[in-house]
Amino acid sequence: MTCIAGGQKLAGTGEPEVGLASFGIQGDTITGFGLGLNIEHAGKVHEVSSALMPLPMKTGIYYFPSLTEPGMTLASYKLRTADRDLLRDYNGGTYSQQYSAIENDPEAKLKIQVDKMEVSDAAQPGFKRVHAVGHFEFNAAALPAASPSDACVKDGIVRSIKSASAGKQQLPKFDAAVCGAEKTHVQCDFDVVADLVKQQ
């Protein structure tokens, strides 16, 4: 798996660098499919997570949440010190609140393109072997501290009051400049094989 995150090119192979999480297979869908990259690079630890999403077991382009559903991605990119202290937490939720100027913003969703999806019987009964190849991308943002500043919170309250007065939500919900938010784009290529349980 290779990613470009925060302008850095990151690459990992196998566990523990590359992780694949899943709730298993139900019908023709992987009910929860999530990819992660966790590597040390230039003295820092980089953690990319697509978060869990339902994924059809066929090729195509998918959004999570789907374009027809309101919501934002839970995908994230965390930057830590070598001792695992958190330096920056870029995530889809912060991006949506700080940068989404429209409802149900497509830019606040994870986009995944599956170029290859092979499903075969696994050696263990009740499991299927899945070989998936493709890429995913998402926008994420981080605040400069673990919690929003007073100025950021006040700005959000003012915007909320204005929205209530106008009878229409003012978007984005916060002013990124006031809050000191910082956005980044993450794009990853993957080629993974995993044995997933087939649910009844």
- Backbone φ and ψ for 14, nearest 5 degrees, come out as 65, 175
Mind listing the pLDDT tens digit of every residue in the chain (200 residues)? 999 998 889 999 988 999 998 999 999 999 989 999 999 988 999 999 999 999 999 999 999 999 999 889 999 999 999 999 999 999 999 999 999 999 999 999 999 999 999 999 999 999 999 999 999 999 999 999 888 899 999 999 999 999 999 888 889 999 999 999 999 999 999 999 999 999 86
Q: Clarify whether residues 29 and 124 are in a common domain.
A: yes
Q: Clarify whether residues 98 and 160 are in a common domain.
A: no
Q: Which residues form the domain of 58?
A: 2-143+181-197
Residue type, 193: V
Length of the chain: 200
Spatial contact of 88 and 63, defined as CB atoms under 8 Å apart: no
Please name the residue that has the structure tokens 């869908």: 29
- Backbone φ and ψ for 43, nearest 5 degrees, come out as 80, 5
What is the three-class DSSP state of 182?
strand
Q: Clarify whether residues 82 and 162 are in a common domain.
A: no
Q: Clarify whether residues 36 and 133 are in a common domain.
A: yes
Q: Which structure tokens are listed for 147?
A: 């919690």
